């Protein structure tokens, strides 16, 4: 079948919840993807910040193949070795205490919300507790995760959502303080907002929230589903601030393509007991083999140094684009989680870039998002720059 025939099948069969680009991907290798026509694309999206070590990594692939031949699934009624080792290792790198494996980032957020509610319930036996989340945040699309996502357009059709959620302004500590009361059980935020436009938190904001949480016995939840696992240049973005959360949520690059997430708690927040929470597939041997191999790759490669070195070079290229084009208003981000702020239609830029062999995505209404594999080189950045530059030139000619 040709590309259009595949697309026709999709449009006739799939629920239309995505406005997909006319691109049918077939295989990947390194930092490149190939469509069913054999066309090559430089990938600066990485499956939305998922494929940290690129495509067709032989070490990763072989570990999964070996596990498939041994054991794929058992259920959480029994122990399995990959999940135990993955939990132990995540405890060590996060310096936290208890791990619950999920199938996605959204499910990790659900677990974090339930943990916060249970923690507060254990203290006073009441069910009227509140959570403070951030405007323009994104935590997922299930009913619980959607309830703490600070974007009305995602919520409107699905109300009523879970109650007791209030929204503060990101990087505005006073707006958080104004919402805190005796019912507040948790404050949830992304150390770097992703879908909201690639906004890093400032240090005063993060440390101020931590002080509030410690003083009031409120749980602090960091959503590092997108900004964690090395993307910021540190293993976790909260390391920049010297602040640890009570609950940390992870997914995306945690499994590098295998659907897996986790929420991790300190001992204080480890309040869930048998019957409180569960999952059929979470923590199965295949998913946790992926986690273990990803952690091996972080340990045995120089990938974090690469992120910091290459991201500086990429920011220099963004400075050049800002200088060259009036409609480029600047850039922001940390490490290889970057956003280029544009005064032209971002969707058109994405489409034109794909036509020229570069995969990029948007974040919000005016940001072109760059979340490539963490293994990209300066040569890959040059290739990206040349394509983006040619796309921008086409807007200059309009």
> Per-residue pLDDT averaged across 143-148, rounded?
97
> Per-residue pLDDT averaged across 212-216, rounded?
98
Contact status, residue 236 vs residue 244, Cβ threshold 8 Å: no
> Per-residue pLDDT averaged across 340-363, rounded?
97
Determine the pLDDT at residue 189: 98
Tokens 């589903």 sit at which residue? Answer: 225
Phi, psi angles (nearest 5°) of residue 349: -65, -45
> Per-residue pLDDT averaged across 249-275, rounded?
98
Tokens 């034109």 sit at which residue? Answer: 352
Q: How confident is the model at residue 97 (pLDDT cuts 50, 70, 90)?
A: very high
Contact status, residue 336 vs residue 305, Cβ threshold 8 Å: no
> Per-residue pLDDT averaged across 190-195, rounded?
97
| 225: pLDDT strictly greater than 80 | yes
138/119 Cα distance (integer angstroms): 23
Domains of the chain: 3-57+302-396 (3.90.1150.10), 71-300 (3.40.640.10)
Phi, psi angles (nearest 5°) of residue 34: -130, 135
Name the token pair of 216: 């009031």
Q: How confident is the model at residue 1 (pLDDT cuts 50, 70, 90)?
A: confident
- Which residues, in sequence order, are bridge partners of residue 363? 367
116/218 Cα distance (integer angstroms): 8
309/307 Cα distance (integer angstroms): 6
| 397: pLDDT strictly greater than 80 | no
Determine the pLDDT at residue 70: 98
Q: Of 376, 368, 363, nearest to 336 (Cα)? A: 376
157/318 Cα distance (integer angstroms): 38
pLDDT, mean over the chain: 97
HEC states along the chain? Answer: CCHHHHHHHHHHHCCCCCCCCCCCEEEEEECEEEECCCCEEEECCHHHHCCCCCECCHHHHHHHHHHHHHCCCCCCCCCCHHHHHHHHHHHHHHCCCEEEEECCHHHHHHHHHHHHHHHHHHHHCCCCCEEEEEECCCCCCCHHHHHCCECHHHHHHHCCCCCCEEEECCCCHHHHHCCCCCCEEEEEECCEECCCCCEECCHHHHHHHHHHHHHHCCEEEEECCCCCCCCCCCCCHHHHHCCCCCEEEECHHHCCCCCCEEEEECCCCCCCCCCCCCCCCCCCHHHHHHHHHHHHHHHHCCHHHHHHHHHHHHHHHHHHHHHHCCCEEEEEEECCEEEEEECCCHHHHHHHHHHCCEECEEECCCEEEECCCCCCCHHHHHHHHHHHHHHHHHHHCC
Tokens 């066309």 sit at which residue? Answer: 39
Tokens 């890093």 sit at which residue? Answer: 200
> Per-residue pLDDT averaged across 185-204, rounded?
97
- Global pTM reads 0.97
Contact status, residue 136 vs residue 197, Cβ threshold 8 Å: yes
Determine the pLDDT at residue 26: 97
Determine the pLDDT at residue 398: 59
| 188: pLDDT strictly greater than 80 | yes
pLDDT digits 0-9 by tens, 246-256: 999 999 999 99
Q: How confident is the model at residue 86 (pLDDT cuts 50, 70, 90)?
A: very high
pLDDT digits 0-9 by tens, 35-53: 999 999 999 999 999 999 9
């Amino acid at each position: 079948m040709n590309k259009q025939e595949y697309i026709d099948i999709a449009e006739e069969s799939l629920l239309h919840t995505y406005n997909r680009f006319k691109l049918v991907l077939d295989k990947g290798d390194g930092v490149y993807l190939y469509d069913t026509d054999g066309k090559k694309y430089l990938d600066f999206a990485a499956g939305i910040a998922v494929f940290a070590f690129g495509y067709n990594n032989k070490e990763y692939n072989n570990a999964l193949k070996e596990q498939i031949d041994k054991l794929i699934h058992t259920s959480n009624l029994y122990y399995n070795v990959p999940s135990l080792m993955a939990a132990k290792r995540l405890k060590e790198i996060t310096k936290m205490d208890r791990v619950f494996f999920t199938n996605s980032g959204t499910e990790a957020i659900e677990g974090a919300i339930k943990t916060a509610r249970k923690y507060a319930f254990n203290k006073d036996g009441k069910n009227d507790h509140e959570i403070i989340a951030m405007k323009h945040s994104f935590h997922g699309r299930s009913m619980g995760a959607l309830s703490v996502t600070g974007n009305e357009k995602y919520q409107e059709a699905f109300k009523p959502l879970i109650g007791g959620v209030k929204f503060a302004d990101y990087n505005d500590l006073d707006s958080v303080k104004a919402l805190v009361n005796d019912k507040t059980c948790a404050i949830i935020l992304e150390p770097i907002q992703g879908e909201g436009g690639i906004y890093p938190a400032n240090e005063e904001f993060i440390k101020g929230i931590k002080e509030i949480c410690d003083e009031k016995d409120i749980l602090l939840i960091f959503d590092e589903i997108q900004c964690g696992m090395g993307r910021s240049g540190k293993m976790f973005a909260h390391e920049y601030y010297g602040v640890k959360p009570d609950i940390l949520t992870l997914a995306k690059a945690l499994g590098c393509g295998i659907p897996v997430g986790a929420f991790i708690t300190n001992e204080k927040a480890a309040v869930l007991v048998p019957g409180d929470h569960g999952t059929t597939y979470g923590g199965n041997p295949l998913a946790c083999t992926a986690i273990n191999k990803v952690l091996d790759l972080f340990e045995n490669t120089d990938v974090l140094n690469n992120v910091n070195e290459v991201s500086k070079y990429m920011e220099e290229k963004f400075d050049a684009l800002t200088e060259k084009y009036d409609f480029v208003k600047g850039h922001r981000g940390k490490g290889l989680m970057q956003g280029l702020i544009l005064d032209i239609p971002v969707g058109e830029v994405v489409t034109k870039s794909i036509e020229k062999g570069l995969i990029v995505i948007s974040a919000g209404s005016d940001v072109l998002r760059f979340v490539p594999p963490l293994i990209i080189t300066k040569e890959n950045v040059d290739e990206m720059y040349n394509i983006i530059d040619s796309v921008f030139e086409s807007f200059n000619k309009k």
